[in-house]
Amino acid sequence: MTRAVGPATLRARRARAAWWLLAPTLAALALAAGWPLARTLWLSLTDATLADPGDFAFVGLANYLEHDAGQWYGVLADPQWWRAVRNTLIFAVASVALETVLGVAIALALDVPFRGRALVRAAVLVPWAVPTVVSAKLWAWMLNDEFGVLNHAALALGLIAAPIAWTADPDLALVAVIVVDVWKSTPFVVLLVLAALQMLPGECYEAARVDGVHPVRVFFRVTLPLIWPALAVAIAFRALDALRVFDLVYVLTANSASTMSISVYARQQLIDFQDLGFGSAASTLVFLTIGLAAIVYLRLARLRPEEVR
Amino acid sequence: MRLLLGTVLAMLAGLAHAATVAISCGAVGRELELCREGAEAWAARSGHTVRLVSTPSSGTERLALYQQLLAARAPDIDVLQIDVVWPGILAPHLADLSAAARAVADEHLASLVRNNTVDGRLVALPWFVDLGLLYYRRDLLERHAARVPRTWPELTETAARIQRAERDAGNARLWGFVFQGRAYEGLTCNALEWLASHGAGALIDAQGRLDLRPAPAAAAMALAASWVGTISPRGVLNYAEEEARGLFQSGHAVFMRNWPYAWALLQDAASPVRGRVGIATLPAGPDGAPAAALGGQQLAVSRYSREPEAAASLALYLSGRAEQKRRAIAGGYHPTRPALYADPEVLAASPLFAVLGAALDDAVARPASVTGPAYNRVSFAFANAVHAALAGQSDAATSVRAFERQLRRIKRRADWAAPDRR
């Protein structure tokens, strides 16, 4: 009696092997991400405080939204939360858009062979290599209204009449945070796009040159579609990073309401205000916001999750 | 008094066995060294032994560490050095020292004792104080024949006049007045001084009721808002203590509001303004009294201490007259006992003590003890309301109303007026 080893059983065996190989990762993920997430979710339904985390009562969804005596309460009724959402969205859209455009432009320039290219490529990566807290502190001094080099240079060149208080002025502070993030994160986009550019087939470009196609048209019709998968991954990473921005905002402008991001808001509730329940509700909303943004983006970019690794 | 304390200590030492008491004290500058000397002097007199526990130097982190230890009812630290705004937060974990300190409590600054009393329990003994002070450039005031301002309007006028004259004479980067304008705890202190000196109240009274008179409060805030961009750089909106000191110490400001710590640094050998700086109590409102925000450190005894008597005895010794005097002379730590500000040896140690002694009467405590765990929320709401007015995003009266509304929201979550918070 012979047993037929068909493709179906083989596939089943391979699938089983794959699950076994994945098991340690899944277990680690459940411990490192799943458990804290579940706990945050549970805490957000209680009135626990940091002062005595063991003593709490179940309050349902009151930390999110609650109606009492003609007034709405909870994170979703807190004007400061919505201001933080607005700040975060402005920050994410503006910084990611600028980083994408600048990143692609710089990558295209670095793709052209020239003397000292290796050196320039290495230099471009420096901002990305500097820890965020360090670069934020560095920029805080450069942006300082009285001693900052930026005001000094602009004054010397006659661009401004009086020093500008970049991080102090509520209207300018968010702009300053965006500028610093663009400086820091553009190299990341450059790196990914450059890698994609180097894999492009030369024939397409030769064909385009033979046909006499305008370089701008070549970029939009040939280059962009070919590097899109890599660019889409870069944008996905940047967008998710930007939505949970914390260190940059916190170092540059601390808890200021004019620049507060949703992560800074959640930290303030949890640590400064000791409110474990309310803070967990805010943290859960941060998680949901980012998760939702990721799903919407993957749909829009028509990118299947398997490609984002 | 010293005799009485000595007798109490001797009795305690005689009655109790030799205990080991762990104390945590700060480690900024000479703090740790002075604390060790004091604690060891107590150990030698009482026959007990002490163990120093090192804690993070950042206030926020130290509070977090204390909360972890105390929430776990850990007996690791018997005597804790705590900030002036922590008694309300930590009170449930701290021992009541009213009985132990009955004889000495009224020797300390009354506002500090009130601050450290939560629900009728004295949970910490005052150790040293910090007060808001006015720093001024003596040379500039002399050159422009100006006197040290006694009211805020006078400061505004003097600062504007000297700034204008100096700028016309080529000192283009000179500013009139710098303070702490970032939306954080420091702005709460600054703004509390403006409000209290204008007779607008101290935000929340000891019973937990709103203590804020809108009209003078709006007037005080409007005056402060008028400084930004005129006698104060717009950057002041993001200044904490060190940014303000940086500008003043480099010679770019006539007046500065800051804590006493800045004095020693301004007189440092490398300081460009060394020998040209004066200190005074803060100005008063147009028809109010001056007010100085009260800071400083206290000594508390953990409820979970295994040696409560010995721990209380150590706290009493360290906050005692002799030890506070020693610390004032050796380390420049400002006593919490008004009597010491009349002591010739203390006064001779630094010119700061005479000014601080005068400012003690104006001390105004932040509403930390009465609001307890909700204090940081109150402080943040207040600082942001003031910040919006300073930045010109809303007018002063609107800011006051916005703060009142926010306060009602906070109060609903943590009703500090009720005897039982939960």
Taking CB atoms and an 8 Å limit, are B183 and A272 in contact across chains? no
Q: What is the mean pLDDT of residues A126-138?
A: 91
Asked if the Cβ–Cβ distance from A168 to B238 is below 8 Å, we say yes
Which among A51, A258, A278 is the nearest to B67, CB-wise?
Answer: A51
- pLDDT at residue number B2: 59
Q: Which pLDDT belongs to residue B177?
A: 97
Residue of A64, A144, A274 to mutate, interface with B, max B Cβ within 10 Å = A274
Residue-level pLDDT at B43: 95
The residue of chain A with its CA nearest to that of B91 is A51
Per-residue confidence (pLDDT) for residue A190, from 0 to 100: 94
pLDDT winner (highest mean) among A216-230, B223-237, B371-385: B223-237
Mean per-residue pLDDT, B256-273: 91
The shortest C-alpha distance from B336 to chain A (Å) reads 28
Q: Which of the two residues, B242 and B56, has the higher pLDDT score?
A: B242
Closest A-chain CA to B68: A51
Both tokens assigned to B395: 């007018």
What is the per-residue pLDDT for B195? 95
Decide if B12 contacts B310 (C-beta within 8 A): yes
Residue A287: pLDDT over 70: yes
Closest CA to B413 of B369, B375, B367, B362: B375
Q: What is the pLDDT of residues B280-308, one digit of tens each?
A: 999 999 877 899 999 999 999 999 999 99
Contact A296, A116 (CB under 8 A): no
Res. A309 pLDDT band, cuts 50 70 90: very low
SS3 label, residue B297: strand
Q: Is the pLDDT reported for residue A5 higher than 70? A: no
CATH assignment of B133-293+368-413, among 3.40.1010.20, 2.70.98.20, 3.20.20.140, 3.40.190.10: 3.40.190.10
Cα separations in angstroms, A245 against A75, A89, A159, A270, A297: 19, 11, 31, 17, 18
Q: What is the pLDDT of residue B422?
A: 32
Residue A168: pLDDT over 90: no
pLDDT for the residue B264: 86
A103 and A189 in contact (C-beta within 8 Å)? yes
Q: Where are the domains of chain A?
A: 88-247+278-307
Looking at chain B, which residue has its C-alpha nearest residue A277?
A: B413
Q: Do B380 and A147 touch (CB under 8 A)?
A: no
Q: What is the DSSP string of B116-141?
A: TEETTEE-EEEEEEEE-EEEEEHHHH
Does residue B14 have a pLDDT over 80? no
Query: Is the pLDDT score of B373 beyond 90?
Result: no
Partner-chain residue, chosen from A52, A256, A272, that has the shortest CB–CB distance to B376: A272
Q: Which CATH class is domain B2-130+294-364?
A: alpha beta
Find residues 148-207 of chain B whose CB sits inside 8 Å of chain A. 173, 181-184
The alpha carbon of residue A258 is apart from the nearest alpha carbon of chain B, in Å, by 9
Domain B2-130+294-364 identical in fold to domain B133-293+368-413: yes
- Cβ distance A145 to B181 less than 8 Å, yes or no, reads no
Residue identified by tokens 């006694």 is B150
Distance from CA of B173 to the nearest CA of A (A): 8
Query: Rounded mean pLDDT of chain B?
Result: 89
Q: Is B412 on the interface with A (CB under 8 A)?
A: yes
Give, in order, the Cα–Cα distances in Å from A279 to each of A44, A266, A272: 7, 5, 10
**B60 lies within 8 A of chain A by CB:** yes
Of chain B residues 358-377, which have a CB less than 8 A from chain A?
A: 373-374, 376-377
pLDDT at A96: 96
Q: Among A51, A145, A275, whose Cβ lies nearest the Cβ of B89? A: A51
- Nearest CA-CA distance, residue B388 and chain A, Å: 9
- Please state the ipTM of this predicted complex: 0.75
Give me the DSSP letters along A113-179.
Answer: --TTHHHHHHHHTHHHHS-HHHHHHHHHHHT-TTT-HHHHHHHHTTS-SS---TTTSHHHHHHHHHH
Q: What is the pLDDT of residues B327-338, one digit of tens each?
A: 999 888 899 999
In B391-419, alpha helices (H)? 396-413
- Statement: A88-247+278-307 belongs to CATH 1.10.3720.10: yes
- In this prediction the pTM is 0.82
- CB–CB contact A52 B71 (8 Å): yes
Q: Give residue A2's pLDDT.
A: 53
pLDDT category of residue B421 using cuts at 50, 70 and 90: very low
Predicted local distance difference test score (pLDDT) of residue B419: 37
pLDDT for A113 equals 85
Q: Are the beta carbons of B233 and A163 separated by less than 8 Å?
A: yes
Check CB contact under 8 Å for B247 and A146.
yes
Report pLDDT for B420.
Answer: 36
pLDDT at A71 over 90: no
Residue-wise pLDDT tens digits, B164-202: 999 999 998 899 999 999 888 899 999 999 999 999 998
pLDDT, residue B72, reads 85
C-alpha atoms less than 13 angstroms from C-alpha of A99 in its C-beta half-sphere:
34
Q: Is B230 on the interface with A (CB under 8 A)?
A: no
B92 near A CB under 8 A? yes
Give residue-wise pLDDT tens across range B92-138. 899 999 999 999 999 999 999 999 999 899 999 999 999 999 999 99
* pLDDT for A304 beyond 60: no
Which residues in chain B have their CB less than 8 angstroms from residue A52's CB?
71, 92
Q: Which residue of A has its CA nearest to B73?
A: A52
Domain spans, chain B: 2-130+294-364, 133-293+368-413
pLDDT value of position A308: 47
Query: What percent of chain B is predicted at pLDDT more than 70?
Result: 94
Residue B342 near chain A (CB below 8 Å): no
pLDDT for A4: 56
> pLDDT digits over B247-258, tens only?
999 999 999 999
CB proximity B421 to A under 8 Å:
no
Q: What is the pLDDT of residue B104?
A: 92
What residues in B contact A51, CB-CB < 8 Å? 67, 71, 89-90, 92, 373
> Which residues partner with B277 through β-bridges?
B137
pLDDT tens track for B15-49: 557 889 999 988 777 788 899 999 999 999 999 99
